[in-house]
Amino acid sequence: MAIYASDEVLDNEPVEDRSYGIIPIQLIPSTSPSTELSSTISTANTQVLLIKQKSGNPSQSTYWAFPKGHAESYDLSNIHAAIRETHEEAGLIIPESGILYKDAEGLTERYKSRSKGCVKEVRYWIGLAGWHGEAKINIEEPKVVDARWLVWREALELITFERGRELLRRAMELLDRGSQIQG
């Protein structure tokens, strides 16, 4: 699905559909096998996960993006919805203490959903997986056909939509400011 002018939305258009997702990252397994995570993280020592999903759009069969989905009534918060969806779609366990930049601006995308015909907003958080080594991917969700840990440049090339590349660039900017892992 290409981004067309009709996909653009104005700031004042009401949002009718909301989803929540994680931009999953892990420390590169060879750089820090330590269980004590108190070092500075950046794009130099992390990888990012993309999932390949089946599209609801007949003009495009699959696309590469981040895990996301709708909140359920039993989710304790929007962050919990994002964590649950990431587990459902990629099998990753990301604790709430692994969510970085909880209040960061610029990790939201808005677009006109072609399948639903309404304005959709997706709020993302950066989530650190694999606190004790490599985070194993386990795909059981039928809509997800592949998932890969990638270095950041590879992810920028593979991600399907420009909105996703913008989110990825924003995550890179946040990480490369020299944030400390808190956990």
- For residues 123 and 106, is the Cβ–Cβ distance under 8 A? no
Do β-strands 46-54 and 68-69 pair in parallel, antiparallel, or remain unpaired?
unpaired
Distance (Å) of CA 21 to CA 6, 39, 40, 71, 112: 24, 25, 24, 10, 18
Averaged pLDDT score across all residues of the chain: 84
Using one digit for the tens of pLDDT, what is the confidence trace for 91-139?
A: 999 999 999 999 888 899 988 877 667 888 899 999 999 865 667 888 8
Q: Could you tell me the domains of the chain? A: 5-175 (3.90.79.10)
H-assigned helices in 102-161: 152-158
Confidence (pLDDT) at 154: 97
Quick check: helix, strand or coil at residue 118? strand
Q: What mean pLDDT do residues 34-45 have?
A: 69
pLDDT at 90: 94
What are 21's strand-pairing partners?
A: 68, 124
The whole-number average pLDDT for the span 36-48 is: 78
Confidence of residue 30 (pLDDT cuts 50, 70, 90): low
In this predicted structure, the answer to whether residue 13 has a pLDDT above a threshold of 80 is no
Q: How confident is the model at residue 37 (pLDDT cuts 50, 70, 90)?
A: very low
pTM value is: 0.84
What is the distance between the alpha carbons of residues 66 and 81, in angstroms, rounded to a whole number? 14
The span from the CA of 166 to the CA of 2, in Å, is 15
Over residues 162-166, the mean pLDDT reads 94
Q: Residues 6 or more apart from 137 whose CB is under 8 A from it? A: 49, 90, 91, 92, 147, 148, 149
Runs of H (alpha helix) within the chain:
78-90, 152-158, 162-175
The answer to whether 94 and 83 are in contact (CB under 8 A) is yes
* Res 167 pLDDT > 70: yes
